[in-house]
A = this chain, B = another copy of it.
Amino acid sequence: MEVGCPSLLYHYLLTIVPKLYLSSMKFEVTILGCGSATPTLRHWPTSQLVNHHGHYFLLDCGEGTQLQLRRYSVKFQRINHIFITHLHGDHCLGLSGLISTMHLLGRVNDLHIYSNISLREAVELQLKVSHSRLRFNLVWHPLSYDEPEVILETKLLKISSFPLNHKVQCCGFRITEKTKERNIIPSQIQKYNIPYVRIRQIKAGADYILEDDTVIPNADLTLDPPAAKSYAFCTDTAFSEKTIEYVSGVDVLYHESTFLERDRQRAYETFHSTATDAARIAKAAEVRKLVLGHYSARYHGLSAFEQEATSIFTPVVLGNEGLRIKI
């Protein structure tokens, strides 16, 4: 016969712990910068912080990213993984400064960087000439720009890269949560006096068998888990049919819209998208929400971007510095 937990501890494990866990759950993107190559006072170069249940991931790191992290009170040292789409300056020139500051602030933990591997030499040389001898490891993960690939897998999520269509090698990133455990129904667990050691199996979908061989089906003990969420980050890129498959069904798609349709020719020449392009991708990929960004310095207002995109797809959110997007 299996031994149950003492009732007070049991109650705590069954009811309080899941509540604490749920309250700490967060899948949120903060836009640190959504301007394009030439600087303006309206936008910062590209960077986003993804907070997934307290794990921080940085997507791109344009010049001034460390200042924006300060502005939005992000603890630098909680960032352990940085993903760089491509090596144009407005997407990576903040990296050496951020690394230097992490060093000055006493970092010791490894920092993982997923990037075109050419960046490694440039960053390491910059650190060398400034006599920064890091007390932590930079762990470089070279990206393939040919095919989608899983580049990081943790207990909670998978992050993959996929090729985009830009002037230089460039990729997008997709962050996909793993299917979560089923939610137990505490009153049912107590009713059948199910010991704590069986809970993990039940959360994974197992039935429970009583001593008299009665089978209590899992459906009587659990509820469906919260849906696994996903986020995709596509910048910089011209419209590309292939992207539709890579970002298919995500909850939130950030897709660059450097230009408006009236500047289609310029978008074509520079391998960028218009708001229409972004909306076409969002629609075809059946995403739940589209966020626009990477606006060219030539536009002084954003309403035309929203107008153009919403004629094809809704809902559209205009990316802006400081915007926090719940996934």
Q: Which of B44, B93, B101, B118 contacts A96 (CB 8 A)?
A: B93
* Partner-B contacts on A (CB < 8 A): 37-41, 44, 63-64, 66-67, 70-71, 87-90, 92-94, 96-97, 100-101, 104-105, 116, 118-119, 121-122, 125-126, 128-132, 167-168
Q: Which of B64, B89, B118, B121 contacts A100 (CB 8 A)?
A: B89
The smallest C-beta distance from A231 to any residue of chain B, in angstroms, reads: 26
The smallest C-beta distance from A39 to any residue of chain B, in angstroms, reads: 5
Q: By the criterion CB–CB under 8 Å, are A41 and B70 in contact?
A: yes
Stoichiometry, copies per complex: 2
The smallest C-beta distance from A69 to any residue of chain B, in angstroms, reads: 8
A116 contacts across to B, CB distance below 8 A: 129
Instruction: Report the Cα distance A121→B129, complex, angstroms.
Output: 9
- A-B contacts, 17 of them at CB < 8 A, read A37-B100, A37-B104, A38-B105, A87-B131, A88-B131, A89-B96, A89-B100, A89-B130, A90-B97, A93-B96, A93-B126, A118-B129, A119-B129, A121-B129, A122-B125, A125-B125, A126-B126
Q: By the criterion CB–CB under 8 Å, are B101 and A97 in contact?
A: no
The smallest C-beta distance from A296 to any residue of chain B, in angstroms, reads: 11
Instruction: Report the Cα distance A129→B167, complex, angstroms.
Output: 13
A167 contacts across to B, CB distance below 8 A: 131
Q: By the criterion CB–CB under 8 Å, are A93 and B89 in contact?
A: no
The smallest C-beta distance from A102 to any residue of chain B, in angstroms, reads: 10
